[in-house]
């Protein structure tokens, strides 16, 4: 089975999602998208698979979002994708693709909805929030 995570190791949410994937017994394909950004076609395909508006994949915090005027509602999807291609930090993360679908996994427990295998034990996020109990059941 192939699970892919578009990952930023500096992001706590991304690290939590990766750990949840591994807690299900999977060893995912990890794409550090800041080092190896998706092509334009891949990004467009990911957004389509997630079934979300392009704007919902834009990250504001810690990015040039405001400096580039990306809060302008008149900007087209193509213009937003152009910005993400020029500045991959604008791509919100983590994005996970599994045989059950693709999702922007914010909050991190969102990944549980698309993981094919159950959790193999308890899971606690880096901030101490319990997400999965000892029997592998989602707490939230």
* Residues catalogued as catalytic: 11
8 Å CB contact between 4 and 104 = no
8 Å CB contact between 3 and 118 = no
Predicted pLDDT at 36: 96
Q: What tens-digit pLDDT sequence spans the chain (140 residues)?
A: 699 999 999 999 999 999 999 999 999 999 999 999 999 999 999 999 999 999 999 999 999 999 999 999 999 999 999 999 999 999 999 999 999 999 999 999 999 999 999 999 999 999 999 999 999 999 97
The two structure tokens encoding residue 25? 């017994």
Question: What does each C-alpha distance from 75 to 58, 91, 106 come to in angstroms?
Answer: 13, 16, 24
138 forms bridges with which residues in the sheet?
132
Reduced to 3 states, what is the DSSP secondary structure of residue 55?
A: helix
Predicted pLDDT at 1: 64
What is the distance, to the nearest Å, from the Cα of residue 110 to the centroid of all Cα atoms in its chain? 9
Separation between Cα atoms, residue 42 and residue 24, nearest integer Å: 26
Between strands 101-104 and 130-132, the pairing is unpaired
Predicted pLDDT at 83: 98
- Please state the CATH superfamily assignment of the domain spanning residues 2-130 in this structure: Glutaredoxin (3.40.30.10)
104 forms bridges with which residues in the sheet?
95
Domain extent listing, the chain? 2-130
Reference 125, options 114, 103, 109; nearest CA is 109
């Amino acid at each position: 089975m192939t699970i892919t995570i578009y990952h930023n190791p500096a992001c706590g949410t991304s690290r939590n999602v990766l750990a949840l994937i591994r807690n299900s017994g999977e060893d995912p394909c990890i794409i550090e998208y800041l080092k190896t950004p998706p092509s334009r076609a891949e990004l467009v395909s990911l957004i389509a698979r997630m079934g979300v508006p392009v704007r919902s994949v834009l990250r504001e915090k810690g990015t040039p979002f405001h400096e580039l005027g990306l809060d302008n509602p008149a900007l087209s999807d193509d213009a937003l994708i152009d910005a993400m291609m020029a500045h991959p930090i604008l791509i919100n993360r983590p994005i996970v693709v599994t045989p059950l679908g693709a999702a922007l996994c914010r909050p991190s427990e969102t990944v549980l909805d698309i993981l094919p295998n159950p959790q193999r034990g308890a899971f606690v996020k880096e901030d101490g929030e319990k997400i999965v109990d000892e029997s592998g059941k989602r707490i939230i």
